Chain A
Amino acid sequence: MSRLEAKKPSLCKSEPLTSERVRATLSVLKGIVASCYGPSGRLKQLHNGLGGCVYTTSHSSALLANLSVTHPILKILTTSVQNHVSCFSDCGLFTAILCCNLIENVQKTGLMPTTVIKLNKHLLSLCTSYLKTEACGCRIPVDFSSTQILLCLVRSILTSKPACMLTRKEIDHISTLILRAFLLTIPENAEDHIIVGKSIIVPLKDQRVIDSTVLPGILIEMFEVQLMKILPLKKSGSLKVALFRASLSGDLSDTGEGTVVISYGVSLENAVLDQLLNLGRQLVSDHIDLVMCQKVIHPSLKQFLSMHHVIAIDRVGVALMEPLSKVTGTQPIGSLGSISPSSYGSLKDLCTAKFGFKHFFHLIPNETTMCSLLLCNRNDTAWDELKLTCQTALHVLQLTIKEPCVLLGGGCTETHLAAYIRHKTFNEPESIPQDDGYTQTELQLITEAFCSALESIAASLEHDGGEILTDMKYGHSWSVQADSPSVANWPDLLSRCGCGLYNSQEELDWSFLRSTRQPFPPQACLPCGAVGSANNLTLDCFTAKLSGLQGAVETANLILDISYVIEDKN
């Protein structure tokens, strides 16, 4: 039976970017990601015709994971964004939009890819080195003695995800929760290097968002039957805990490669059960109050334990094993025989709690960096989005600890950076290494392409037909409503810039983002007072945005460099 076929020859296409189809799909992708961006972004409904649930989302990771992309070039782009998101959680849409825009803008210039790639790299290094300097005008150092900036950061992330369906009040509530959850994971006595704990997100759907809460320690869901059995056993004071990794179900362990011959009448099950009960006796004599097992506990053992007022929780699952062992200070036990007393741990208290319709064991530790974030939202899809957003926010807070600064949000960083680069290349061309590979005109063309790609991110924030303006002093972005008169009294129409740092009463000059303007040096230093006073800033994660910028330019360069696509058709 020959089921082998000769391999089909591959399809080889040259200069893929020049093809109309690729351009069209690229612009469709750009349309999708750009329309999701920002607080007023449009939501996307993803549904699979073959079944499964329907997602309503504007989150890049949910969007791109479900989008089936066929063209290899787009695949490169989307996997690059997905990889970025899995590293940094935030700024996925930013990366995708920037990358698409960069490719598109560069294509319009019609320059040789060699030159373009070289120049893009120079411009990128200009950006990154500027963002890393102290004098950078769109960077705010984080003061950990107050929660204000961190709260702004979390709130900006929540606001930028409209699919969570939160009201203003709910956003405030959730951002405080997230920040509190994060602070609970930081150990109290910090040594030279901090090991940040973990916040476990516990789902509680179909509840009011306001009911969400944060608890120190771990919540384990239990069934009502269990509850009935355990309730009378509740006792106060510190509890001694044993955590089992090995199965306590009484199944036989691996007997090796050879054969095991069992004489008639010998029941191994009984033997194992005896062993389990012996174990139970040992546990009881060791004054254990709580037994937890990753796998199943044999009903007889459970019965035995409950007779001796020991609480047994089984089927904890592998995911909870590490947090549990950390919280209780136990060593997961892998033996059914003699157990070393050193592998027992302790808990401050155990209580049962009811949230919504669900009952939980609440394990209250003595001192730990574990906490549970009980998230409520009205429906499944909004809950999923909220969960993603909370994870993003928690991750961003962790990243901010490593690199204690934040970037201005609301498009201000992008317009400011664009203004800075324009100024550098037009007024101080010596800041870019001059080698023989390109002319001054080429440099200016690419600068324009690069800067307008950056600015188009700020423009993507506007979805309601409004206009984005930029001021000529700070280079921040300002948004104006759709039906405002074209020449108007700008200070009255505009109130605050995108990030909320400056207000319009400062005697600034404005210009439309899409119009051309004279390059100007954006004012670098931040006013000291401004950061302190403004409590409603829109902020972005520094590490994620910087890396997104690098990723986007690198990916765009990669795509521009492709001269052939060989598709294996097998």
Chain B
Amino acid sequence: MAAAAGSVKAALQVAEVLETIVSCCVGPEGRQVLCTKPTGEVLLSRDGGRLLEALHLEHPLARMMVACVSSHLRKTGDGAKTFIIYLCHLLRGLTAVTDKEDSFMSKNIQTHGRHWKNCCQWKFISQALLTFQTQILDYVMDQHLSRHFLSVFSSSTKERTLCRRSFEMLLGAYFCGRVGRNNHNFISQLMCDYFFKCMPCESGFEEVLELVDGCFVELNVGVTGLPVSDSKIVAGLVLHRDFSVYCPADGDIRIVLVTETFQPPFSTSGMEFILNSEAQFQTSQFWIMERTKAIMKHLQSQNVKLLLSSVKQPDLVVYYAGLNSISVVECLASDEISLIQRITGLSPFVLPQASSQCEISNTALVKFCEPLILRSKRYVHLGLISTCPFIPHCVVLCGPVQGLVKQHEDALHGAFKMLRQLFKDLDLNYMTQVSDQNFTSSPPIYKNTRESNQLPEIVNGSKQRPYQSTVVRNKDEVEKTQTYLKESSNLVVPGVEIETYGPCSTPTDTYQTDEKLRCLSPNKTRIIDDHDLFIEGNSNSTTENTRIESSYENLQVTNIAGKGYMLPVRYKSLEIGTSQNYCFSSIPAGCVLPVGGNFEILLHYYLLNYAKKCQQSEAAMVGMIIANALLGIPKILCKSKKGIHSFPQMYVSTLHALQANQSMVSSQTGLESVSGKYQLITSVLQCLTKILTIDLVINIKRQPQEIYNLDSEEEL
């Protein structure tokens, strides 16, 4: 039994070790880690989750951390390395704070008592952390950070369409952290091409993403021995099998799926087949043969040219298939079969019981069906015609060694996971009762602010009109501006906010478009960069919406708060048809920020501001610690940079920009998902709370119990 007097200290030590390993592969400058498996397999990886698992850690705290990381990864599929770095910095911050406090502590408390006192203190802190995570973080995200969000959607219409350029930037940044430095551009381009090739139209990508994520193993083919640059996308589906019989066919090719053998067996299970004479045996064999022949003939008459079978078919079937110029592919994996079913909507062919002359309804058309040779291995290449919004394409991944091919495969798969996460709205927990002690500083008009969170939808709705004429649109916007003005009357809410903005006057109805994104959003889209100056502070709308910058002088209109409160609701009921007064705020789907620590610095800045305003010392301290820990990531990312891009320079200039409400200078060209980052922080905080609430680690020196056995048997 070991007392965890320094549970935080021990955790810090563990986290620091993990940090040193993990931080070498963070970011675009990160390097590779080579993992060997007991089987002798060699794997290259920059995937934090994989590395942590490969370490097989022994330390209980380390194992807990790894468990937290993997549960986070299951949820989001990204951010394992950042997780460890945050955690490490948070622990460092906590120990620094408590060390200071310790010195003030009276020395006469007995050590034992002090231990328990420590534990109480940790528990207190952990509670504060939890409150922070559930309340303040969401509040800050929603109230302050949301103004900086960009979106990967290019159009302002209700149909969400992807902006290809920002999509590329998003993927570029993702692959920077996942694959080797030489290949990330290539792989990200490949992924982008693949994604857009699989999509029939601009919308409906959620389903495509879901399908690709679920069946990625079937949708890629790894080829070793060729340079990475030979990787390509092929149209259609590549099955990891060879033809048993191949009969070249063109024109109208129909396929049939089978899950059982065509040749009728002598007997099925639970049945007895009684043979009384040799002739009987011969007749039955003859019958079996004739029947197989008849089925095949019938298939041929139905124009079936290809049999896809999940089982091995007897020689007889293969022979007759060949005679009737039907190609056969046997022993397909069940996943492959289900993928084909999903794409074509085809159900397996059931053998007609009585007569073989019935109509076969379960056939599907394919465009082509041919052998594909990749590095002297033969595959079946099918041009399936899709009935769902996914146009089948396969990725052929090449690389000199299997480890590299696997890494690219994993990275692509992870990217699909990340995208799925990105395109989900993430509800924030920001609906708590005002009575909470932490929110004493927030005035009671809270409700209104929440209402105003509905603005995106409103703007969305009114956006449908602008197409009529400019005049109308202008009117519309004036109207909207008014709404905003009324809204801004509510802005008094967080007192902090107004101060930070300072006086400024921008003309009404000006749009600032982000230079980077402009080309993609032709006339009607106004994508606003994070460094633009936003006045409508409390609308958490993202760039999918038009933003109007109103002058701050209008803030004087404070006494129409009531109206401002009403308006959004009215709008909403107009456009959506449901008027719901209380609504959770959320991070809308597709929210992104430039990479390179932008999110962290922004959050750091707003948290610091919050902490300054905060009356409660405990909450303020927690806020400070978290804010400072956030800087860990940008510090590592800027480690190798010099001059203006070095961390201190960048930090100071960003802070200045934020304080002066100027545009933030960002040298980055990549984007990253906001919701991913947000979830990461919550996961880290939860993990930290867990660590803090532990007061004792009990070491059991016994054979693992039954439950443990079950677990490990699964692994075996």
Partner of B34, one of A547, A564, A570: A564
Complex CA–CA separation, A260 to B268 (angstroms): 10
A261 touches B272 (CB 8 A): yes
Partner of A258, one of B34, B40, B54, B269: B269
Q: A8-B56, A87-B226, A558-B180 known; A246 and B273 CB under 8 Å?
A: no
Known: A258-B270, A335-B316. 7 other contacts (CB 8 A): A118-B182, A256-B267, A258-B273, A268-B275, A332-B319, A335-B315, A555-B400
Complex CA–CA separation, A340 to B316 (angstroms): 12
> Hey, which chain A residues are within 8 Å of B281, CB to CB?
266, 268, 271
A337 touches B34 (CB 8 A): no
B274 touches A257 (CB 8 A): no
Instruction: Please list the 7 inter-chain residue pairs (A to B) with the smallest Cβ-Cβ separation, ordered nearest first.
Output: A256-B265, A258-B267, A334-B319, A334-B315, A83-B225, A87-B225, A257-B269
Please encode chain A, from 254 to 291, with 1 for each CB lying within 8 Å of some chain B CB and 0 for all others: 11111111110011101100110000000000000000
Q: How large is the interface on A (under 10, 10 to 19, 20 to 34, 35 or more residues)?
A: 35 or more
**CB within 8 Å of A: which B12-55 residues:** 21, 24-25, 29, 31-38, 40, 42, 44, 51, 54-55
A244 CB, nearest partner CB in chain B, Å: 9
21 of the cross-chain contacts (CB-CB < 8 Å) are A7-B56, A8-B56, A9-B57, A72-B36, A76-B44, A79-B402, A118-B182, A255-B265, A257-B268, A257-B269, A258-B273, A260-B267, A334-B314, A334-B315, A343-B319, A550-B229, A551-B400, A554-B400, A558-B400, A565-B35, A568-B36
A76 touches B403 (CB 8 A): yes
> Hey, which chain B residues are within 8 Å of A85, CB to CB?
225
A258 touches B278 (CB 8 A): no
B277 CB, nearest partner CB in chain A, Å: 6
A82 CB, nearest partner CB in chain B, Å: 8
> Hey, which chain B residues are within 8 Å of A296, CB to CB?
none
The stretch of B282-290, B499-507, B523-531 that contacts the partner chain: B282-290
Please encode chain B, from 629 to 645, with 1 for each CB lying within 8 Å of some chain A CB and 0 for all others: 00000000000100000
B34 touches A121 (CB 8 A): no
> Hey, which chain B residues are within 8 Å of A275, CB to CB?
282, 285
Q: Is A253 an interface residue (CB 8 A)?
A: yes
Partner of B33, one of A76, A80, A334, A564: A564
Chain A residue nearest to B55 (CB atoms) is A10
> Hey, which chain B residues are within 8 Å of A557, CB to CB?
180, 182
> Hey, which chain A residues are within 8 Å of B224, CB to CB?
79, 83
A563 touches B282 (CB 8 A): no
Chain A residue nearest to B29 (CB atoms) is A114
B401 touches A254 (CB 8 A): no
B42 touches A72 (CB 8 A): yes
Instruction: Enumerate chain B interface residues (CB-CB to A < 8 A).
Output: 21, 24-25, 29, 31-38, 40, 42, 44, 51, 54-58, 180-182, 224-229, 265-278, 281-282, 285-286, 289, 293, 314-320, 322-323, 375-376, 399-404, 640, 703-704, 708-709, 712-713
Please encode chain A, from 143 to 156, with 1 for each CB lying within 8 Å of some chain B CB and 0 for all others: 00000000000000
Chain A residue nearest to B275 (CB atoms) is A262
B32 touches A562 (CB 8 A): yes
Q: A118-B181, A555-B400, A561-B181 known; A337 and B323 CB under 8 Å?
A: no
A260 touches B273 (CB 8 A): yes
B34 touches A562 (CB 8 A): yes
Chain A residue nearest to B716 (CB atoms) is A4
Please encode chain A, from 541 to 569, with 1 for each CB lying within 8 Å of some chain B CB and 0 for all others: 00000010011001101100111111111
Please encode chain A, from 124 to 139, with 1 for each CB lying within 8 Å of some chain B CB and 0 for all others: 0000000000000000
> Hey, which chain A residues are within 8 Å of B180, CB to CB?
557-558, 561
Q: A260-B267, A332-B319, A562-B32 known; A4 and B273 CB under 8 Å?
A: no
> Hey, which chain B residues are within 8 Å of A114, CB to CB?
29, 181, 640
Please encode chain A, from 328 to 365, with 1 for each CB lying within 8 Å of some chain B CB and 0 for all others: 00011111111010110000000000000000000000
Most chain B CB neighbours (cut-off 10 Å) among A16, A263, A334: A334
A337 touches B42 (CB 8 A): no
Q: Is A86 an interface residue (CB 8 A)?
A: yes
B278 touches A563 (CB 8 A): no
B56 touches A568 (CB 8 A): yes
Complex CA–CA separation, A258 to B268 (angstroms): 5
Complex CA–CA separation, A9 to B53 (angstroms): 10
B38 touches A570 (CB 8 A): yes
A261 touches B32 (CB 8 A): no
> Hey, which chain B residues are within 8 Å of A259, CB to CB?
267, 271-273
> Hey, which chain B residues are within 8 Å of A568, CB to CB?
35-38, 54, 56
A245 touches B319 (CB 8 A): yes
A564 touches B24 (CB 8 A): yes
Complex CA–CA separation, A88 to B375 (angstroms): 9
Partner of A562, one of B33, B229, B286, B708: B33
A84 touches B704 (CB 8 A): no
Chain B residue nearest to A244 (CB atoms) is B315
Chain B residue nearest to A7 (CB atoms) is B56
> Hey, which chain A residues are within 8 Å of B404, CB to CB?
558
Q: Is A236 an interface residue (CB 8 A)?
A: no
> Hey, which chain B residues are within 8 Å of A121, CB to CB?
182
> Hey, which chain B residues are within 8 Å of A319, CB to CB?
none
Q: Is A184 an interface residue (CB 8 A)?
A: no
> Hey, which chain B residues are within 8 Å of A10, CB to CB?
54-56
> Hey, which chain A residues are within 8 Å of B401, CB to CB?
76, 79-80, 83, 555, 558
Q: Is A219 an interface residue (CB 8 A)?
A: no
Complex CA–CA separation, A319 to B34 (angstroms): 39
> Hey, which chain B residues are within 8 Å of A260, CB to CB?
266-267, 272-275
Complex CA–CA separation, A117 to B285 (angstroms): 67
Chain A residue nearest to B640 (CB atoms) is A114
B271 touches A9 (CB 8 A): no
Partner of A256, one of B268, B319, B399, B704: B268
A18 CB, nearest partner CB in chain B, Å: 13
A241 CB, nearest partner CB in chain B, Å: 16
> Hey, which chain B residues are within 8 Å of A334, CB to CB?
314-320
Complex CA–CA separation, A550 to B37 (angstroms): 27
Chain A residue nearest to B17 (CB atoms) is A12
> Hey, which chain A residues are within 8 Å of B270, CB to CB?
258
Complex CA–CA separation, A6 to B56 (angstroms): 10
Partner of B375, one of A86, A261, A336, A551: A86
> Hey, which chain B residues are within 8 Å of A203, CB to CB?
none
B715 CB, nearest partner CB in chain A, Å: 9
A337 touches B285 (CB 8 A): yes
Chain A residue nearest to B706 (CB atoms) is A2
A256 touches B182 (CB 8 A): no
B622 CB, nearest partner CB in chain A, Å: 33
Chain A residue nearest to B642 (CB atoms) is A436
Complex CA–CA separation, A565 to B44 (angstroms): 9
Complex CA–CA separation, A254 to B312 (angstroms): 13
Q: A246-B315, A334-B315, A340-B323 known; A565 and B34 CB under 8 Å?
A: yes
Please encode chain A, from 178 to 194, with 1 for each CB lying within 8 Å of some chain B CB and 0 for all others: 00000000000000000
Complex CA–CA separation, A256 to B32 (angstroms): 53
A558 touches B285 (CB 8 A): no
Q: Is A521 an interface residue (CB 8 A)?
A: no
**CB within 8 Å of B: which A1-24 residues:** 2, 4, 6-10, 12, 14, 16
> Hey, which chain B residues are within 8 Å of A197, CB to CB?
none
Q: Is A140 an interface residue (CB 8 A)?
A: no
> Hey, which chain A residues are within 8 Å of B314, CB to CB?
253-254, 334
A128 CB, nearest partner CB in chain B, Å: 9
Complex CA–CA separation, A114 to B225 (angstroms): 24
Chain A residue nearest to B402 (CB atoms) is A79
Complex CA–CA separation, A80 to B399 (angstroms): 9
> Hey, which chain A residues are within 8 Å of B703, CB to CB?
2
Partner of A83, one of B54, B276, B278, B400: B400
Chain B residue nearest to A273 (CB atoms) is B278
Q: A260-B267, A331-B322 known; A245 and B315 CB under 8 Å?
A: yes
B277 touches A258 (CB 8 A): no
Q: Is A480 an interface residue (CB 8 A)?
A: no
B30 CB, nearest partner CB in chain A, Å: 8
Chain B residue nearest to A120 (CB atoms) is B182
